[in-house]
Amino acid sequence: MTDVAAKPTDSLTVRDNRTGQEYDIAITDNTIAAKDLGQIRVGEDDPGLATYDPGFVNTASCRSAVTFIDGDKGILEYRGYPIEQLAEKSTFLEVAYLLIHGELPTKEQYENWVHEITYHTFVHENVKEFVQGFRYDAHPMGMLMASVGALSTFYPEAVNIADADNRHMQMVRMIAKMPTLGAWSFRHAQGKPFVYPDNDLSYTENFLSMLFKMSESKYVADPRIAKALDVLLILHADHEQNCSTNAVRSVGSSQVDPYSAVAAGVGALFGPLHGGANEAVLRMLKRIGSKENIPAFIEGVKNGDERLMGFGHRVYKNYDPRAKLIKKACDDVFEVTGVNPLLEIAQELEKIALEDEYFVKRRLYPNVDFYSGLIYEALQFPPEMFTVLFAIGRTPGWLAQWNELITDKEQKIARPKQIYTGDRELTFVPAEERWA
Ligand code: CMC
């Protein structure tokens, strides 16, 4: 019998019914260390008990001080600051500084940071040549993924990841150059000439200039549009251990350079269950076409024919706080561009879904991608560009998490276990005998 009173309170007592043996496993920060289960074994040859967790639904892969989420309450904080306050009162570059450095900048630190980012927006001329080498109809996310990865060949010193100054330089470069790469992917797909960065402009104004400038000598963005885009970038800047951040950390754990690690993040973000959802939402709304078709569409979703894109989240089981803020940004943008006619369908879809038992029971609410596509479309972005905007916004988050990983003594190369289900010890018969 276990003497419960003698056990440390922050521990778990596990009884292995195969052997009758009991083990005390420490609980720290409401988790147990998976490696502690390794001592639970039935014999000498047994490698020990492991956990099985496809999709990491209940496994912490790191300690992190970057972003806090309470999915039940719909809370999101970057370095402790609520997203609502940052979206209203900060700027994307200040948020980027906060995420990477862990605290808000002084005036001098902020000015230096903005100066550094602004003066690294240009890319090597060779980048222009290889972006031009993509097919005319190449997806801009494919181009972005390839070109951010290719930056590692321009900055071979980026492999010196143990050097803090060197890491800083690459992080600055990446935040600075992502809009240039994203804008050039867009211009290439449109068959338009590339626009060089304009260092007199703010981060978001310069991005808009590289996207939309034609023959005018200076592109002047509507300040309401520039502000709305800046807010959208802030809302996307980090989201703790999501699929793409996990990809960045996983690839970064091999100690590769950060450009290669971020290229992996861009790849993960491209998928329709992650950043690609905003593109999928817009296509879905266009397919639904009018409010009358919504009930039939919802029935199809409930029958499992497809998913209601832009709804549901692994972590939020409440309204995604970013979706609320995006709805507000929608109003600001539509004031300039006129209302996107798909908004009516989206709002009706949301209303019906939020009252339907299927969605209520599964706690499915609109996520960040539900309304963002409507804004992007109003800003004249084709759907293929939506995830590129997400990637530019997420870059400081990926880098903050990568930097944290590199300086975390507890981290190791990511290498999960498997449960092997295949054959064993077969005898190989050469092809000429098998086919005889
Ligand atoms: N439409 C219909 N049913 C859904 C949806 C949806 N959008 N999302 C989840 N469900 C159902 C799912 O079928 C399952 O039902 P059941 O229990 O009967 O099998 C239940 O809800 C739980 O779903 P899950 O797939 O186990 O949940 P998950 O945590 O693995 O997936 C998700 C999360 C975001 C991938 C999923 O909700 C989804 O596919 N949503 C649509 C895509 C989307 O909007 N993605 C953007 C996510 S937010 C931004 C980002 O991270 O990039």
Is residue 63's pLDDT more than 80? yes
216 phi, psi to nearest 5 deg: -65, 150
Residue pair 208/225 in contact by the 8 Å Cβ criterion: yes
pTM check: above 0.95: no
119-160 pLDDT, tens digit each = 999 999 999 999 999 998 999 999 999 999 999 999 999 999
pLDDT score, position 318: 86
92 CA to centre of own chain? 16
Please, which residues have CB within 8 angstroms of residue 290's CB and are 6 or more apart in sequence?
345
Residue pair 122/196 in contact by the 8 Å Cβ criterion: yes
Catalytic, 320? Answer: no
Query: Ligand 1 centre from 87 Cα, in Å?
Result: 26
CA dihedral 60, 63, 67, 73 (to 10 degrees): 50
Is residue 17's pLDDT more than 50? yes
Bridge partners of residue 81, in order along the sequence = 78
Domain that holds residue 33: 1-51
pLDDT score, position 8: 67
Residue 130 lies in a domain: no
pLDDT score, position 52: 97
CB of 204 closer than 6 angstroms to any ligand 1 atom: no
Q: Which of 287-291, 319-323, 378-382 reaches the highest mean pLDDT?
A: 287-291
pLDDT score, position 279: 86
Catalytic, 236? Answer: no
318 phi, psi to nearest 5 deg: -150, 180
* Torsion sign across C-alpha atoms 278, 317, 102, 262: negative
Residue 12 lies in a domain: yes
CB of 387 closer than 6 angstroms to any ligand 1 atom: no
37-56 pLDDT, tens digit each = 999 999 999 999 999 999 99
Q: Mean pLDDT across the chain, nearest whole number? A: 94
- Integer-rounded Cα Rg, in Å, for the chain is 25
26 phi, psi to nearest 5 deg: -65, 140
pLDDT band at 2 (very low <50, low <70, confident <90, very high): very low
Residue 185 lies in a domain: no
Comparing 374 with 14, the larger pLDDT belongs to: 14
Q: Which of 69, 246, 282, 314, when mutated, tests ligand 1's pocket best, judged by the most ligand atoms within 8 Å of its CB?
A: 314
Check 168, 274, 332, 408 and give the catalytic one.
274
CB of 128 closer than 6 angstroms to any ligand 1 atom: no
Nearest atom within ligand 1 for CA of residue 239: 51
Is residue 313's pLDDT more than 80? yes
Supply angle C-alpha 387, 390, 392, rounded to 5.
115
pLDDT band at 1 (very low <50, low <70, confident <90, very high): very low
Is residue 368's pLDDT more than 70? yes
71-103 pLDDT, tens digit each = 999 999 999 999 999 999 999 999 999 999 999
Check 36, 236, 313, 320 and give the catalytic one.
313
Give the closest residue (by CA) to ligand 1 atom 11: 362
CB of 281 closer than 6 angstroms to any ligand 1 atom: no
Residue 364 lies in a domain: no
pLDDT, average across residues 335-359:
91
Residue 38 lies in a domain: yes
Give the closest residue (by CA) to ligand 1 atom 26: 314
pLDDT, average across residues 174-202:
96
Query: Ligand 1 centre from 184 Cα, in Å?
Result: 33
Residue pair 281/309 in contact by the 8 Å Cβ criterion: yes
Nearest atom within ligand 1 for CA of residue 243: 51
pLDDT band at 339 (very low <50, low <70, confident <90, very high): confident
Is residue 223's pLDDT more than 70? yes
Is residue 4's pLDDT more than 60? no
Longest Cα separation, the chain: 83
Tokens 């329709």 — which residue? Answer: 272
pLDDT band at 6 (very low <50, low <70, confident <90, very high): low
CB of 274 closer than 6 angstroms to any ligand 1 atom: yes
Give the closest residue (by CA) to ligand 1 atom 30: 314
Give the closest residue (by CA) to ligand 1 atom 9: 312
Q: Which residues of 8-31 are buried (b: 16+ CB within 10 A; e: fewer)?
A: eeeeeebeeeeeeeeeeeeeeeee
3-state secondary structure the chain: CCCHHHCCCCEEEEEECCCCEEEEEECECCECCHHHHHHCCCCCCCCCCCCCCHHHCCCCCCCCCCEEEECCCCEEEECCEEHHHHHHHCCHHHHHHHHHHCCCCCHHHHHHHHHHHHCCCCCCHHHHHHHHCCCCCCCHHHHHHHHHHHHHHHCHHHHCCCCHHHHHHHHHHHHHHHHHHHHHHHHHHHCCCCCCCCCCCCHHHHHHHHHHCCCCCCCCCCHHHHHHHHHHHHHCCCCCCCHHHHHHHHHHCCCCCHHHHHHHHHHHHHCCCCCCHHHHHHHHHHHHCCHHHHHHHHHHHHCCCCCCCCECCCCCCCCCHHHHHHHHHHHHHHHHHCCCCHHHHHHHHHHHHHHCHHHHHCCCCECCHHHHHHHHHHCCCCHHHHHHHHHHHHHHHHHHHHHHHHCCCCCCCCCCCCCCCCCCCCCCCCHHHHCC
CA distances from 84 to 66, 75, 325 (A): 16, 9, 7
Is residue 222's pLDDT more than 50? yes
Residue 363 lies in a domain: no
Please, which residues have CB within 8 angstroms of residue 303's CB and are 6 or more apart in sequence?
none
Residue 225 lies in a domain: no
Residue 197 lies in a domain: no
Helix 386-406 to helix 223-235 angle (10° resolution) is: 50
Q: Which of 56, 284, 367, 387, when mutated, tests ligand 1's pocket best, judged by the most ligand atoms within 8 Å of its CB?
A: 367
389-425 pLDDT, tens digit each = 999 999 999 999 999 999 999 999 999 999 999 999 9
Percentage above 90 pLDDT, the chain: 84
Catalytic, 168? Answer: no
Check 36, 230, 238, 369 and give the catalytic one.
369
Structural domain count, the chain: 1
Q: Which residues of 149-184 are buried (b: 16+ CB within 10 A; e: fewer)?
A: bbbbeebeebbebeeeebbebbbbbbbbbbbbbbbb
